[in-house]
Chain A
Amino acid sequence: MFEKIFFLLCLSTALAEQLCRPEASDGYRVRLSIKTALGDEAYVWNDNEMFLFRATLAFAMRNQISGQEFEVSNIIVCDETPRVSFWFVVTSPQNTSQLVDKESVEEAVRKSRNRINSAFLLTDKTLEFIGIPPTLAAPVNPDTPPWLIVFGLVMGAVGAGIIVLLASSVVQKKRKNDEKPDDEEIDEETRVKTVENSAASEGIYNRSFSDDERFTHM
């Protein structure tokens, strides 16, 4: 009797080993970078952690394929390395020698990725399923891009500055025009003088260095 049970156990493990081979068609490689993620608070990877992994994955498969009750024994792991990377395959609960196809496994992992990550205190980058790219967070698209807001503020301030400046210069000119009638009498005398001299002083600038020496052909 014991021999039979022993024989069956050996058979099942042998079968399991046959099902799980690295680079097998329906499995995925998992790589964990615990020390990178947690530094000093890193936990040691041991059999208990492996058990948690298999349980989490069974949970993910249950969520994906409703009705089928995946157990920890349905998740077979092999080829563990010191890196903490290993290969896993998923067997169907109805028929333990048949593997669940790759696409379902991928879907299941994708859906429950967040839960799997948080079970191990890791992220998409530190808990990698090689071959299953993580779905990146959607970019936040605000209605008004923030730069436009700052632009609006600056433009408003500058515009206000210009309006103030132009308005003040217009006001100044108006004041000057109002003062003009008072100064006109004083100006009249100077204007008479300037009219007499205008033939000689046509320009306002000092042409002391123009080429009189060269062009006055006298």
Chain B
Amino acid sequence: MEKDARPKWDSPVQFVLACVSYAVGLGNVWRFPYLCQMHGGGGFLIPYLLMLFLEGVPLFYLELAIGQKMRLGSIGAWTAISPYLGGMGLASVVTSLYLCLYYNIINAWSFWYLFHSFQSVLPWAECPINANRTGPIKECEQATPTQYFFYRETLDISSSIEENGGIHTGQALCLILAWIITYLFIVRGVKSTGKVVYFTATFPYVVLFVYLIRGITLHGAINGVKYMFTPKMEQLANPTTWINAATQIFFSLGLGFGSLIAFSSYNQYNNNFERQAIVVSLINSGTSIFASIVTFAIYGFKATVNYENCLERTRLLLLNAFNLAEDSITVDTVYDWIEKLNATYPEQFAELNTRLENCDLESELDTAVEGTGLAFIVYSEAIKNMPLSQLWSVLYFIMLLLLGMGSMLGNVTAIITPLRDFKVISRMSSELFNGLVCLFCLLLGLGFTTTSGSYWFTMFNDYGATFSLLFIVLIEVITVSYIYGIKRFEKDIEDMLGHRPNWYWKIMWTFTSPLLLIALFIFYIINYIKGGTPTYQAWNKELGKSVVTEYPVFGQVFIGLLLASSVSCVPLTALYVYCRKRKHGGHHKRQRTVSTISA
């Protein structure tokens, strides 16, 4: 019966590369360096690595074990473990759906930037000139050219989430391209994904390595790297540090979406996933640290360039105001001259004071940015100052694309695999079904390309997956440890691997990880309640910077819906199964008596 056999990875290497490609994503590049900076540089590695061993690796192992044992997607697997808790699988699918909707927008932006890198002058290097040809456009002058390019030309952002506009055609085209490429990668399921991951998992490392060499040799990069690695141990006393470390490990490994269950369900029954779980988790964390070295080298370069430009502007200001000869003040002697001039011409200097900037390297390095702001604004600003900037720009955005596409593989597989376990859908050809899923996500995703789309993106990013995942994984680990039983789980693993998991794994699953997750869960709820009305950063055209704005009522309602829709799958499914069992309970009894007589 070859037709009904489950597709398989061609080799365990494909499975490992698929997991690496999925886990190593944009978060490693833009979230971890930010956390490192916020929580005391090198010192942050201590809570991070501790959390990796306390919750990261055990939970990763757990999900791989379940997928490989049940050989089903998340819905089927959890239903098999405990019918009442099959809703967990459904919640995973819903969360993955939300993730798919908004994640590909980032890939669309990366494509946009990539295509715009093929010009003699990078479009975000200079401000475009206004209609009168007297100077740069006002919005661009208030902000910086890179910010203007991102907010105005890429997003064409409106001033708040309430104001809507049309679809940005360029964005829509890039989104269509992103979804077509995603479809191409998953069109035949595991057979096509397995070949693609050889590239998407390995090439980003090549680019990162090239960037490491470029980054370290940049002028002023050493300032950034030194800043990052100087540990500020007092941050370890701050509970937020530990919470952020736990959260980062959790989200970075991509637990709870069902992708890991989906990937491992295509494994051979006796595949040694224990070793693979440890390897992938370590690779993921190692990549985060590696990427943050690159990021900090680039930070250092950008900060140094900005600092030196500031000094140059101050020098010119002094020269022009006091009409001194051009070579009398050099960049190094600016501060000495400021004191001298302040002493000799106090009134004239006082007039200048408003225009005089305070140039400080430390404060430049202190500006911590994460997320899309880091990837698209800070990095592109650094790139425009490098020699041969078009080449570095192309390389960088290709890397972002590979990281993003690699994660998309896992996200879409997490939706497709559980749904294909249903008979109705397994009758459709895989190409058709995968195409329908991609088309559906594309059409809904077009909403993110409107002028207010970026604000919806932020909403989905902040609320769509975070809370629900914690809930899902918490229920997962409690189900496996207590409802299914740790002894039964041990036996399953022995069946697959040939040996039982040792005491470390068992303690983590039954004790440490649930406790940590409960603590994180409670912390999230407290933070949410304490935080008051949720807010977002709206771009103000006149001021040329982002302003903190509260979500309007419909926005808050939508946030509530996002959270409720995935979390409520669990109790609702339990209720449904309970009612169904009660209805068919009588039926079954009668059926069984008939068959025993005939047999």
A interface list, Cβ under 8 A from B: 31, 33-36, 81-85, 133, 135-139, 146-151, 154-155, 158-159, 161-162, 165-166, 169, 199, 204-207, 209-211, 215, 217
Whether the Cβ atoms of B133 and A135 lie closer than 8 Å is yes
Kindly state whether residue B118 has any CB partner on chain A within 8 Å.
yes
Q: Which of B41-49, B138-146, B178-186 contacts A (4 or more CB under 8 A)?
A: B178-186
| Given contacts A136-B134, A159-B180, A209 and B81 within 8 Å (CB-CB) | yes
With A135-B134, A139-B128, A147-B119 given, name 7 new contacts (CB 8 A). A81-B323, A83-B326, A148-B115, A158-B177, A161-B184, A165-B192, A169-B431
B interface, CB within 8 angstroms of A: 4, 69-72, 76, 80-83, 111-112, 114-116, 118-119, 128-129, 133-135, 170, 173-174, 177, 180-181, 183-184, 187-188, 192, 319-320, 323-328, 421, 429, 431, 488, 492, 581, 589, 595
Beta-carbon contact of A31 and B320 below 8 Å: yes
For the complex formed, measure the closest distance between the CB of A208 and the CB atoms of chain B, giving whole angstroms: 9
Contacting residues, chain A, for B4 (C-beta < 8 A)? 204
A-B contact pairs, 10 of them (CB 8 A): A83-B319, A136-B129, A139-B129, A146-B118, A147-B119, A148-B115, A154-B115, A154-B177, A166-B431, A210-B80
Contact status of A205 and B174, CB under 8 A, knowing A33-B326, A82-B323, A147-B118? no
Q: For A161, what are the chain B residues with a Cβ–Cβ distance below 8 Å?
A: 184
**CA of A207 to CA of B581, assembled, Å:** 17
- Using known A-B contacts A151-B177, A162-B180, A162-B184, determine if residue A205 contacts B76 with beta carbons closer than 8 Å: yes
Measured in the bound complex, the distance between the Cα atoms of B325 and A34 in whole Å is: 10
**Smallest beta-carbon distance A29→chain B, Å:** 10
Given the complex of chains A and B, what is the CA–CA distance between A133 and B134 in angstroms? 7
B interface secondary structure, majority:
helix
Cβ 8 A contact of B135, one of A81, A133, A158: A133
Q: CB within 8 A of B118: which of A137, A138, A150, A169?
A: A150
Question: When the two chains form their complex, are residues A151 and B174 in contact, meaning their CB atoms are under 8 A apart?
Answer: yes
Whether A211 contacts B83 by the Cβ 8 Å rule is yes
The docked-state distance in angstroms from the alpha carbon of A35 to that of B316 is 12
When C-beta atoms are compared, the residue in chain A nearest to B113 turns out to be A147
Residue of B nearest to A138 (CB): B133
Report the minimal beta-carbon distance from B38 to chain A, rounded to whole angstroms: 35
Smallest beta-carbon distance B196→chain A, Å: 11
- Closest A-chain residue to B170, C-beta based? A147
Task: Take A158-B180, A169-B431 as given contacts and tell me if A205 and B118 are in contact as well, using a CB distance cutoff of 8 Å.
Answer: no
Chain B residues within 8 Å of A135, by CB: 133-134
A210, closest chain B residue (CB): B80
Nearest 9 CB-CB pairs, A to B? A81-B323, A147-B115, A82-B325, A83-B323, A35-B326, A150-B115, A147-B116, A136-B129, A136-B133
Contacts of A210 in B (CB 8 A): 80, 83
A82, B322: Cα distance in complex, Å: 10
B326's closest neighbor in chain A, by CB? A35
Report B-chain residues with C-beta under 8 Å of the C-beta of A151.
Answer: 111, 115, 173-174, 177
Question: CA separation between A133 and B497, bound complex, in Å?
Answer: 77
Residues from chain B with a CB closer than 8 A to the CB of A36 are 326
Which residues of A have CB within 8 Å of B192? Answer: 165
